[in-house]
Structure 1
Amino acid sequence: MRRFVLPALVLLLVLSGCDNRTEVTNASYTETDNAEAPIDAATGNAMLTEAAPAACPAIGGRQASPAQCAEYTRQANALTDGIAAFDPPGKMRMGAPETLTLVIGQAADAAAVTNAVVGDSGDANMVRTEKVAIGENVSAELSSPNSMFRIAPEGRVVKPMPARGQQIWQWSVEALVPGKHKLTLTVGVPILGAAGEVWQPVLEPRTFEIDVQARPRTWPEFFDDLAKFFTSLKGALVALAAVIAAVAGVWLAVKNFGRKAEKGGEEGEG
Protein backbone atom coordinates (compact mmCIF):
# COMPACT_ATOMS: atom_id res chain seq x y z
CA MET A 1 0.00 0.00 0.00
CA ARG A 2 2.84 2.39 0.89
CA ARG A 3 4.43 1.66 -2.46
CA PHE A 4 1.44 3.29 -4.20
CA VAL A 5 1.01 6.23 -1.81
CA LEU A 6 4.48 7.72 -2.27
CA PRO A 7 4.41 7.91 -6.10
CA ALA A 8 0.95 9.45 -5.96
CA LEU A 9 2.14 12.22 -3.66
CA VAL A 10 5.08 12.97 -5.94
CA LEU A 11 2.77 13.18 -8.97
CA LEU A 12 0.44 15.63 -7.20
CA LEU A 13 3.36 17.87 -6.27
CA VAL A 14 4.58 17.94 -9.87
CA LEU A 15 1.13 18.83 -11.25
CA SER A 16 0.69 21.55 -8.64
CA GLY A 17 4.02 23.14 -9.64
CA CYS A 18 3.07 23.19 -13.36
CA ASP A 19 -0.22 24.94 -12.61
CA ASN A 20 1.54 27.61 -10.60
CA ARG A 21 4.05 28.27 -13.36
CA THR A 22 1.21 28.56 -15.88
CA GLU A 23 -0.59 31.10 -13.69
CA VAL A 24 2.57 33.12 -13.21
CA THR A 25 3.30 33.10 -16.92
CA ASN A 26 -0.22 34.19 -17.82
CA ALA A 27 -0.18 36.90 -15.18
CA SER A 28 3.13 38.17 -16.43
CA TYR A 29 1.89 38.30 -20.05
CA THR A 30 -1.30 40.06 -19.06
CA GLU A 31 0.53 42.65 -17.00
CA THR A 32 3.03 43.34 -19.78
CA ASP A 33 0.35 43.47 -22.47
CA ASN A 34 -1.75 45.87 -20.43
CA ALA A 35 1.21 48.15 -19.86
CA GLU A 36 2.00 48.51 -23.59
CA ALA A 37 -1.46 48.59 -25.17
CA PRO A 38 -4.68 50.42 -24.27
CA ILE A 39 -7.61 48.44 -22.92
CA ASP A 40 -10.92 48.19 -24.76
CA ALA A 41 -13.53 49.34 -22.23
CA ALA A 42 -16.23 47.16 -23.77
CA THR A 43 -14.34 43.88 -23.75
CA GLY A 44 -11.57 44.50 -21.25
CA ASN A 45 -9.03 43.18 -23.73
CA ALA A 46 -5.86 44.92 -24.88
CA MET A 47 -6.17 46.75 -28.21
CA LEU A 48 -3.50 46.53 -30.85
CA THR A 49 -2.05 49.91 -31.91
CA GLU A 50 -0.17 50.84 -35.07
CA ALA A 51 3.28 52.36 -34.74
CA ALA A 52 3.48 56.14 -34.93
CA PRO A 53 4.05 57.70 -38.40
CA ALA A 54 7.61 58.59 -39.33
CA ALA A 55 9.43 60.14 -42.27
CA CYS A 56 9.33 57.83 -45.29
CA PRO A 57 12.24 58.21 -47.76
CA ALA A 58 10.24 56.70 -50.62
CA ILE A 59 7.88 59.67 -50.65
CA GLY A 60 10.37 62.43 -50.03
CA GLY A 61 10.32 62.30 -46.22
CA ARG A 62 6.58 62.70 -45.82
CA GLN A 63 5.01 61.13 -42.74
CA ALA A 64 3.67 57.60 -43.09
CA SER A 65 3.19 54.58 -40.86
CA PRO A 66 5.68 51.71 -41.22
CA ALA A 67 3.13 49.66 -43.15
CA GLN A 68 2.32 52.56 -45.47
CA CYS A 69 5.99 53.36 -45.98
CA ALA A 70 6.65 49.74 -46.87
CA GLU A 71 3.98 49.94 -49.61
CA TYR A 72 5.36 53.24 -50.95
CA THR A 73 8.85 51.77 -50.97
CA ARG A 74 7.65 48.69 -52.82
CA GLN A 75 6.10 50.82 -55.56
CA ALA A 76 9.17 53.06 -55.81
CA ASN A 77 11.45 50.05 -56.17
CA ALA A 78 9.20 48.57 -58.87
CA LEU A 79 10.21 51.18 -61.49
CA THR A 80 11.58 49.75 -64.72
CA ASP A 81 13.02 51.14 -67.94
CA GLY A 82 10.43 52.35 -70.44
CA ILE A 83 10.07 54.29 -73.67
CA ALA A 84 7.68 57.11 -74.55
CA ALA A 85 6.70 58.04 -78.12
CA PHE A 86 4.83 61.25 -78.98
CA ASP A 87 3.75 62.88 -82.26
CA PRO A 88 3.69 66.69 -81.89
CA PRO A 89 2.88 68.40 -85.22
CA GLY A 90 5.16 71.08 -86.61
CA LYS A 91 2.21 73.08 -87.97
CA MET A 92 -1.45 73.46 -87.13
CA ARG A 93 -4.39 75.42 -88.50
CA MET A 94 -6.17 77.75 -86.14
CA GLY A 95 -9.60 76.39 -85.23
CA ALA A 96 -8.91 72.93 -86.69
CA PRO A 97 -8.64 70.38 -83.80
CA GLU A 98 -6.09 67.59 -84.09
CA THR A 99 -5.54 64.41 -82.07
CA LEU A 100 -2.13 64.05 -80.44
CA THR A 101 -1.04 60.60 -79.23
CA LEU A 102 1.40 59.45 -76.54
CA VAL A 103 2.33 55.78 -76.20
CA ILE A 104 4.43 54.41 -73.32
CA GLY A 105 5.72 50.86 -73.00
CA GLN A 106 8.67 48.71 -72.02
CA ALA A 107 12.08 49.82 -73.27
CA ALA A 108 12.53 46.43 -74.91
CA ASP A 109 9.46 47.11 -77.06
CA ALA A 110 10.67 50.47 -78.41
CA ALA A 111 9.88 49.59 -82.04
CA ALA A 112 6.34 48.51 -81.21
CA VAL A 113 5.76 51.65 -79.15
CA THR A 114 6.91 53.88 -82.02
CA ASN A 115 4.80 51.99 -84.56
CA ALA A 116 1.74 52.41 -82.33
CA VAL A 117 2.11 56.19 -82.68
CA VAL A 118 2.91 56.17 -86.41
CA GLY A 119 -0.29 54.29 -87.21
CA ASP A 120 -1.51 54.63 -90.76
CA SER A 121 0.58 57.70 -91.57
CA GLY A 122 3.77 55.69 -91.88
CA ASP A 123 5.91 58.75 -91.09
CA ALA A 124 8.16 57.73 -88.22
CA ASN A 125 10.17 60.93 -88.62
CA MET A 126 7.36 62.90 -86.94
CA VAL A 127 7.54 60.73 -83.79
CA ARG A 128 9.64 61.87 -80.82
CA THR A 129 10.91 59.14 -78.48
CA GLU A 130 12.22 59.52 -74.92
CA LYS A 131 13.54 57.10 -72.30
CA VAL A 132 11.40 57.10 -69.16
CA ALA A 133 10.98 55.10 -65.97
CA ILE A 134 7.65 53.35 -65.64
CA GLY A 135 5.90 51.94 -62.60
CA GLU A 136 2.62 50.26 -61.81
CA ASN A 137 0.92 53.54 -62.77
CA VAL A 138 2.04 56.33 -65.10
CA SER A 139 0.61 59.83 -65.47
CA ALA A 140 0.88 62.20 -68.42
CA GLU A 141 -0.18 65.80 -68.95
CA LEU A 142 -0.27 68.01 -72.02
CA SER A 143 -0.40 71.73 -71.28
CA SER A 144 -0.10 75.09 -73.03
CA PRO A 145 1.40 78.24 -71.51
CA ASN A 146 -0.94 81.22 -71.71
CA SER A 147 -3.76 78.97 -73.01
CA MET A 148 -2.81 79.27 -76.67
CA PHE A 149 -4.45 75.88 -77.26
CA ARG A 150 -7.68 74.26 -76.15
CA ILE A 151 -6.70 70.82 -74.77
CA ALA A 152 -8.98 67.97 -73.72
CA PRO A 153 -8.67 66.24 -71.36
CA GLU A 154 -7.03 68.77 -69.05
CA GLY A 155 -4.63 68.02 -66.21
CA ARG A 156 -2.74 64.85 -65.34
CA VAL A 157 -4.23 61.59 -66.58
CA VAL A 158 -3.17 58.52 -64.57
CA LYS A 159 -3.31 55.09 -66.19
CA PRO A 160 -2.17 51.65 -64.99
CA MET A 161 0.74 50.18 -66.88
CA PRO A 162 0.26 46.65 -68.16
CA ALA A 163 2.97 44.10 -67.42
CA ARG A 164 3.34 43.68 -71.17
CA GLY A 165 2.25 45.89 -74.03
CA GLN A 166 1.68 49.64 -74.09
CA GLN A 167 -0.53 52.31 -72.61
CA ILE A 168 -1.98 55.09 -74.77
CA TRP A 169 -2.91 58.72 -74.03
CA GLN A 170 -4.71 60.92 -76.56
CA TRP A 171 -5.61 64.60 -76.48
CA SER A 172 -7.79 66.76 -78.69
CA VAL A 173 -5.80 69.94 -79.34
CA GLU A 174 -7.20 73.07 -81.00
CA ALA A 175 -5.01 76.09 -81.77
CA LEU A 176 -6.68 79.35 -80.79
CA VAL A 177 -4.20 82.04 -81.81
CA PRO A 178 -2.04 82.20 -84.96
CA GLY A 179 1.72 82.37 -84.53
CA LYS A 180 4.41 80.17 -82.97
CA HIS A 181 3.27 78.71 -79.65
CA LYS A 182 4.38 75.90 -77.35
CA LEU A 183 2.93 72.67 -76.04
CA THR A 184 4.47 70.99 -72.97
CA LEU A 185 4.38 67.23 -72.25
CA THR A 186 5.03 66.01 -68.69
CA VAL A 187 5.30 62.34 -67.68
CA GLY A 188 5.49 61.02 -64.13
CA VAL A 189 4.88 58.01 -61.90
CA PRO A 190 2.28 58.42 -59.13
CA ILE A 191 2.97 56.37 -56.00
CA LEU A 192 -0.38 55.63 -54.42
CA GLY A 193 -1.14 54.77 -50.81
CA ALA A 194 -3.37 55.41 -47.80
CA ALA A 195 -1.40 58.52 -46.85
CA GLY A 196 -2.13 60.11 -50.25
CA GLU A 197 -0.68 60.25 -53.73
CA VAL A 198 2.91 61.27 -54.34
CA TRP A 199 3.77 62.22 -57.90
CA GLN A 200 7.33 61.71 -59.04
CA PRO A 201 8.42 63.10 -62.44
CA VAL A 202 10.35 60.59 -64.52
CA LEU A 203 10.80 62.84 -67.56
CA GLU A 204 11.70 66.49 -67.56
CA PRO A 205 8.90 68.50 -69.24
CA ARG A 206 9.35 68.43 -72.99
CA THR A 207 8.30 71.56 -74.89
CA PHE A 208 7.32 71.53 -78.57
CA GLU A 209 6.91 74.64 -80.72
CA ILE A 210 3.91 74.65 -83.05
CA ASP A 211 3.56 77.03 -85.98
CA VAL A 212 -0.13 77.94 -85.90
CA GLN A 213 -1.42 79.31 -89.19
CA ALA A 214 -4.66 81.18 -89.74
CA ARG A 215 -7.21 78.69 -90.92
CA PRO A 216 -8.72 78.92 -94.41
CA ARG A 217 -12.11 80.62 -94.64
CA THR A 218 -15.20 78.48 -95.04
CA TRP A 219 -17.59 79.10 -97.97
CA PRO A 220 -20.17 80.91 -95.82
CA GLU A 221 -17.43 83.14 -94.45
CA PHE A 222 -16.11 83.72 -97.99
CA PHE A 223 -19.51 84.85 -99.31
CA ASP A 224 -20.07 86.99 -96.23
CA ASP A 225 -16.71 88.70 -96.79
CA LEU A 226 -17.56 89.11 -100.51
CA ALA A 227 -20.87 90.77 -99.66
CA LYS A 228 -19.12 93.09 -97.24
CA PHE A 229 -16.61 93.93 -99.97
CA PHE A 230 -19.30 94.83 -102.52
CA THR A 231 -21.19 96.77 -99.89
CA SER A 232 -18.10 98.77 -99.08
CA LEU A 233 -17.33 99.07 -102.83
CA LYS A 234 -20.83 100.38 -103.47
CA GLY A 235 -20.37 102.95 -100.76
CA ALA A 236 -17.00 103.92 -102.23
CA LEU A 237 -18.52 104.28 -105.71
CA VAL A 238 -21.34 106.43 -104.39
CA ALA A 239 -18.82 108.62 -102.60
CA LEU A 240 -16.66 108.78 -105.72
CA ALA A 241 -19.67 109.74 -107.84
CA ALA A 242 -20.49 112.48 -105.39
CA VAL A 243 -16.93 113.79 -105.59
CA ILE A 244 -16.99 113.67 -109.43
CA ALA A 245 -20.32 115.49 -109.48
CA ALA A 246 -18.97 118.13 -107.16
CA VAL A 247 -15.84 118.59 -109.28
CA ALA A 248 -17.94 118.75 -112.44
CA GLY A 249 -20.20 121.34 -110.86
CA VAL A 250 -17.22 123.49 -109.90
CA TRP A 251 -15.76 123.15 -113.39
CA LEU A 252 -19.07 124.16 -115.04
CA ALA A 253 -19.41 127.10 -112.67
CA VAL A 254 -15.92 128.33 -113.52
CA LYS A 255 -16.56 127.82 -117.24
CA ASN A 256 -19.85 129.70 -117.14
CA PHE A 257 -18.28 132.47 -115.13
CA GLY A 258 -15.60 132.87 -117.82
CA ARG A 259 -18.17 133.03 -120.57
CA LYS A 260 -20.15 135.69 -118.73
CA ALA A 261 -16.99 137.74 -118.21
CA GLU A 262 -16.15 137.58 -121.95
CA LYS A 263 -19.70 138.49 -122.91
CA GLY A 264 -19.72 141.45 -120.51
CA GLY A 265 -16.47 142.76 -122.00
CA GLU A 266 -17.82 142.57 -125.56
CA GLU A 267 -20.97 144.52 -124.59
CA GLY A 268 -18.86 147.26 -122.94
CA GLU A 269 -16.77 147.74 -126.09
CA GLY A 270 -19.89 148.02 -128.23
Structure 2
Amino acid sequence: MTVGVLFDIDGVLVTSWQAIPGAAAALDAVRRRAHPLAFLTNTTSRTRSEIAASLCAAGMDVTPDEIVTAAGLTAEYLRSTYPDARCLLVNHGDVTEDLPGVRLDDVNPDVVVLGGAGPEFDHDTLSRVVGLMQQGVPVVAMQGGLSWATEDGVKIDTGAYLPGLEAAGGGRVTVIGKPAPTGFIMAAALVGIDPEHAVMIGDDVANDVLAAQYVGFTGVLVRTGKFRQAAVESASGTPDHVVDSVADLPALLDALGGEPGAAD
Protein backbone atom coordinates (compact mmCIF):
# COMPACT_ATOMS: atom_id res chain seq x y z
CA MET A 1 0.00 0.00 0.00
CA THR A 2 1.35 3.40 -0.99
CA VAL A 3 2.05 5.75 1.91
CA GLY A 4 1.33 9.45 1.44
CA VAL A 5 3.20 12.15 3.32
CA LEU A 6 1.89 15.46 4.62
CA PHE A 7 4.57 17.94 5.64
CA ASP A 8 4.15 20.76 8.08
CA ILE A 9 6.34 23.58 6.78
CA ASP A 10 7.47 25.99 9.49
CA GLY A 11 9.78 24.23 11.92
CA VAL A 12 9.99 21.10 9.76
CA LEU A 13 11.31 22.27 6.39
CA VAL A 14 12.27 25.84 7.27
CA THR A 15 12.71 28.20 10.19
CA SER A 16 12.09 31.86 9.34
CA TRP A 17 12.09 30.60 5.72
CA GLN A 18 15.67 29.34 5.95
CA ALA A 19 16.01 25.66 5.10
CA ILE A 20 16.52 23.23 7.95
CA PRO A 21 19.65 21.13 7.21
CA GLY A 22 18.78 18.10 5.13
CA ALA A 23 15.23 19.24 4.33
CA ALA A 24 15.70 19.66 0.58
CA ALA A 25 17.45 16.30 0.24
CA ALA A 26 14.74 14.59 2.29
CA LEU A 27 12.00 16.07 0.14
CA ASP A 28 13.79 14.95 -3.01
CA ALA A 29 14.17 11.45 -1.56
CA VAL A 30 10.45 11.23 -0.75
CA ARG A 31 9.61 12.28 -4.31
CA ARG A 32 12.02 9.71 -5.78
CA ARG A 33 10.29 7.02 -3.75
CA ALA A 34 7.01 8.10 -5.43
CA HIS A 35 5.19 8.83 -2.19
CA PRO A 36 2.19 11.11 -2.79
CA LEU A 37 2.78 14.29 -0.81
CA ALA A 38 1.34 17.66 0.13
CA PHE A 39 2.17 20.49 2.50
CA LEU A 40 -0.31 21.35 5.26
CA THR A 41 0.41 24.65 6.95
CA ASN A 42 -1.20 27.02 9.42
CA THR A 43 0.84 29.87 7.90
CA THR A 44 -1.59 32.71 7.23
CA SER A 45 0.86 35.52 6.55
CA ARG A 46 1.63 34.37 3.01
CA THR A 47 -0.36 33.02 0.08
CA ARG A 48 0.19 29.59 -1.43
CA SER A 49 2.13 31.18 -4.28
CA GLU A 50 4.36 33.10 -1.87
CA ILE A 51 4.96 30.02 0.28
CA ALA A 52 5.91 27.95 -2.77
CA ALA A 53 8.27 30.69 -3.95
CA SER A 54 9.93 30.87 -0.52
CA LEU A 55 10.39 27.10 -0.40
CA CYS A 56 11.85 27.10 -3.91
CA ALA A 57 14.25 29.86 -2.84
CA ALA A 58 15.27 27.62 0.06
CA GLY A 59 16.15 24.84 -2.38
CA MET A 60 12.90 22.85 -2.37
CA ASP A 61 10.91 22.29 -5.55
CA VAL A 62 7.32 22.91 -4.45
CA THR A 63 4.31 24.15 -6.43
CA PRO A 64 1.35 26.17 -5.08
CA ASP A 65 -1.06 23.35 -5.94
CA GLU A 66 0.72 21.08 -3.45
CA ILE A 67 0.15 23.46 -0.56
CA VAL A 68 -2.93 23.36 1.67
CA THR A 69 -3.24 26.52 3.74
CA ALA A 70 -5.53 27.39 6.61
CA ALA A 71 -6.69 30.40 4.58
CA GLY A 72 -7.73 28.24 1.65
CA LEU A 73 -9.60 25.84 3.91
CA THR A 74 -11.31 28.75 5.62
CA ALA A 75 -12.40 30.24 2.30
CA GLU A 76 -14.06 26.97 1.36
CA TYR A 77 -15.79 26.83 4.75
CA LEU A 78 -17.04 30.42 4.52
CA ARG A 79 -18.37 29.97 0.98
CA SER A 80 -20.37 26.91 1.99
CA THR A 81 -21.48 27.94 5.48
CA TYR A 82 -21.91 31.71 5.18
CA PRO A 83 -22.40 32.45 1.46
CA ASP A 84 -22.25 36.16 0.62
CA ALA A 85 -21.53 37.05 4.26
CA ARG A 86 -19.58 40.22 5.01
CA CYS A 87 -16.41 39.16 6.79
CA LEU A 88 -14.19 41.14 9.13
CA LEU A 89 -10.70 39.73 8.61
CA VAL A 90 -8.12 40.09 11.41
CA ASN A 91 -4.87 38.67 10.11
CA HIS A 92 -1.15 39.35 9.96
CA GLY A 93 -0.41 39.39 6.23
CA ASP A 94 -2.35 39.82 3.01
CA VAL A 95 -3.78 36.47 1.90
CA THR A 96 -6.81 37.74 -0.02
CA GLU A 97 -5.50 35.85 -3.06
CA ASP A 98 -6.30 32.62 -1.19
CA LEU A 99 -9.80 33.80 -0.17
CA PRO A 100 -11.68 33.67 -3.49
CA GLY A 101 -15.39 34.29 -3.13
CA VAL A 102 -15.06 35.71 0.38
CA ARG A 103 -16.57 39.18 0.82
CA LEU A 104 -14.38 41.30 3.11
CA ASP A 105 -16.05 44.15 5.02
CA ASP A 106 -14.58 45.67 8.18
CA VAL A 107 -17.47 48.09 8.77
CA ASN A 108 -20.58 45.97 9.27
CA PRO A 109 -19.52 42.32 9.36
CA ASP A 110 -21.72 39.24 9.52
CA VAL A 111 -18.77 37.01 10.42
CA VAL A 112 -15.41 37.61 12.11
CA VAL A 113 -12.47 35.73 10.59
CA LEU A 114 -9.30 35.41 12.67
CA GLY A 115 -6.09 34.61 10.80
CA GLY A 116 -2.56 34.50 12.13
CA ALA A 117 -1.66 36.54 15.19
CA GLY A 118 0.51 39.63 14.94
CA PRO A 119 0.34 43.36 15.67
CA GLU A 120 -3.21 43.33 14.28
CA PHE A 121 -4.33 41.43 17.40
CA ASP A 122 -4.26 44.60 19.49
CA HIS A 123 -6.44 45.61 22.44
CA ASP A 124 -8.96 47.64 20.49
CA THR A 125 -9.39 45.04 17.76
CA LEU A 126 -9.82 42.12 20.14
CA SER A 127 -12.23 44.19 22.22
CA ARG A 128 -14.28 44.80 19.09
CA VAL A 129 -14.28 41.07 18.34
CA VAL A 130 -15.59 40.38 21.85
CA GLY A 131 -18.32 42.99 21.38
CA LEU A 132 -19.39 41.41 18.10
CA MET A 133 -19.44 37.97 19.71
CA GLN A 134 -21.71 39.31 22.44
CA GLN A 135 -24.05 40.49 19.68
CA GLY A 136 -24.18 36.97 18.26
CA VAL A 137 -21.76 37.43 15.35
CA PRO A 138 -20.03 34.08 14.62
CA VAL A 139 -16.24 33.89 14.75
CA VAL A 140 -14.16 31.60 12.55
CA ALA A 141 -10.44 31.05 13.20
CA MET A 142 -8.30 29.97 10.28
CA GLN A 143 -6.20 27.91 12.68
CA GLY A 144 -5.73 27.22 16.36
CA GLY A 145 -1.96 27.00 16.69
CA LEU A 146 -0.52 28.21 19.97
CA SER A 147 2.91 29.27 18.73
CA TRP A 148 5.52 29.09 16.01
CA ALA A 149 9.31 29.16 16.02
CA THR A 150 11.41 31.98 14.56
CA GLU A 151 15.08 32.90 14.57
CA ASP A 152 14.21 35.28 17.42
CA GLY A 153 12.43 32.66 19.49
CA VAL A 154 8.89 31.39 19.93
CA LYS A 155 5.97 33.69 19.03
CA ILE A 156 2.43 33.11 20.29
CA ASP A 157 -0.26 32.47 17.72
CA THR A 158 -4.03 32.66 17.38
CA GLY A 159 -4.82 29.66 19.56
CA ALA A 160 -3.37 31.47 22.57
CA TYR A 161 -6.14 34.10 22.26
CA LEU A 162 -9.15 31.88 21.61
CA PRO A 163 -10.03 30.75 25.17
CA GLY A 164 -10.07 34.36 26.38
CA LEU A 165 -12.18 35.54 23.46
CA GLU A 166 -14.66 32.74 24.01
CA ALA A 167 -14.90 33.47 27.73
CA ALA A 168 -15.30 37.23 27.28
CA GLY A 169 -17.51 37.00 24.19
CA GLY A 170 -19.78 34.28 25.54
CA GLY A 171 -19.53 32.15 22.40
CA ARG A 172 -17.54 29.50 20.63
CA VAL A 173 -14.96 30.01 17.90
CA THR A 174 -14.99 27.59 14.98
CA VAL A 175 -11.43 26.48 14.16
CA ILE A 176 -10.72 25.33 10.60
CA GLY A 177 -6.98 24.58 10.30
CA LYS A 178 -4.76 22.53 12.57
CA PRO A 179 -5.45 21.06 15.05
CA ALA A 180 -9.04 20.66 13.73
CA PRO A 181 -9.62 17.47 11.70
CA THR A 182 -10.74 19.34 8.57
CA GLY A 183 -7.31 20.27 7.27
CA PHE A 184 -5.84 16.80 7.67
CA ILE A 185 -8.75 15.12 5.89
CA MET A 186 -8.77 17.62 3.02
CA ALA A 187 -5.00 17.41 2.57
CA ALA A 188 -5.17 13.61 2.41
CA ALA A 189 -7.89 13.91 -0.23
CA LEU A 190 -5.63 16.27 -2.20
CA VAL A 191 -3.00 13.56 -2.59
CA GLY A 192 -5.56 10.82 -3.12
CA ILE A 193 -4.95 8.74 0.00
CA ASP A 194 -6.99 7.62 2.97
CA PRO A 195 -5.90 8.91 6.40
CA GLU A 196 -4.87 5.43 7.52
CA HIS A 197 -2.29 5.40 4.72
CA ALA A 198 -0.94 8.88 5.46
CA VAL A 199 2.02 10.11 7.49
CA MET A 200 1.99 13.58 9.05
CA ILE A 201 5.36 15.05 10.00
CA GLY A 202 5.42 18.12 12.24
CA ASP A 203 7.22 19.93 15.03
CA ASP A 204 4.14 20.51 17.22
CA VAL A 205 3.29 17.41 19.21
CA ALA A 206 -0.31 18.46 19.86
CA ASN A 207 -1.40 20.42 16.79
CA ASP A 208 0.52 18.50 14.13
CA VAL A 209 1.14 15.00 15.37
CA LEU A 210 -1.46 13.94 17.92
CA ALA A 211 -4.22 15.80 16.06
CA ALA A 212 -3.30 13.90 12.89
CA GLN A 213 -3.18 10.60 14.76
CA TYR A 214 -6.68 11.33 16.07
CA VAL A 215 -8.07 11.11 12.53
CA GLY A 216 -6.08 8.00 11.62
CA PHE A 217 -2.74 9.31 10.36
CA THR A 218 0.64 8.01 11.44
CA GLY A 219 2.31 10.84 13.34
CA VAL A 220 6.00 11.73 13.10
CA LEU A 221 7.43 14.37 15.44
CA VAL A 222 10.69 16.14 14.60
CA ARG A 223 13.08 17.57 17.17
CA THR A 224 13.39 20.86 15.28
CA GLY A 225 11.35 24.07 15.18
CA LYS A 226 9.31 24.50 18.33
CA PHE A 227 9.92 20.97 19.60
CA ARG A 228 10.26 20.88 23.37
CA GLN A 229 10.76 17.65 25.32
CA ALA A 230 8.62 19.02 28.15
CA ALA A 231 5.71 19.41 25.74
CA VAL A 232 6.06 15.80 24.66
CA GLU A 233 6.12 14.59 28.26
CA SER A 234 3.00 16.56 29.17
CA ALA A 235 1.08 15.75 25.97
CA SER A 236 -2.21 13.87 26.00
CA GLY A 237 -0.78 11.07 23.88
CA THR A 238 2.39 9.64 22.40
CA PRO A 239 3.69 10.27 18.87
CA ASP A 240 3.94 7.17 16.72
CA HIS A 241 7.51 8.12 15.83
CA VAL A 242 10.04 10.76 16.91
CA VAL A 243 13.03 11.64 14.70
CA ASP A 244 15.78 14.20 14.99
CA SER A 245 14.76 16.06 11.85
CA VAL A 246 12.99 15.73 8.51
CA ALA A 247 16.31 14.47 7.14
CA ASP A 248 15.49 11.17 8.87
CA LEU A 249 12.10 10.79 7.18
CA PRO A 250 13.17 8.80 4.08
CA ALA A 251 14.82 6.13 6.23
CA LEU A 252 11.73 5.97 8.45
CA LEU A 253 9.46 5.53 5.44
CA ASP A 254 11.70 2.72 4.23
CA ALA A 255 11.50 1.10 7.67
CA LEU A 256 7.73 1.37 7.64
CA GLY A 257 7.77 -0.67 4.47
CA GLY A 258 4.73 1.10 3.06
CA GLU A 259 2.58 0.34 6.04
CA PRO A 260 2.01 3.29 8.42
CA GLY A 261 1.98 2.31 12.07
CA ALA A 262 4.66 -0.37 11.75
CA ALA A 263 7.27 -0.61 14.48
CA ASP A 264 9.90 2.13 14.62
Q: Work out whether the TM-score is over 0.5.
A: no
Q: Greater share of helix residues, 1 or 2?
A: 1
Bigger-Rg structure (1/2) = 1
Give TM-score scaled by structure 2 length.
0.19
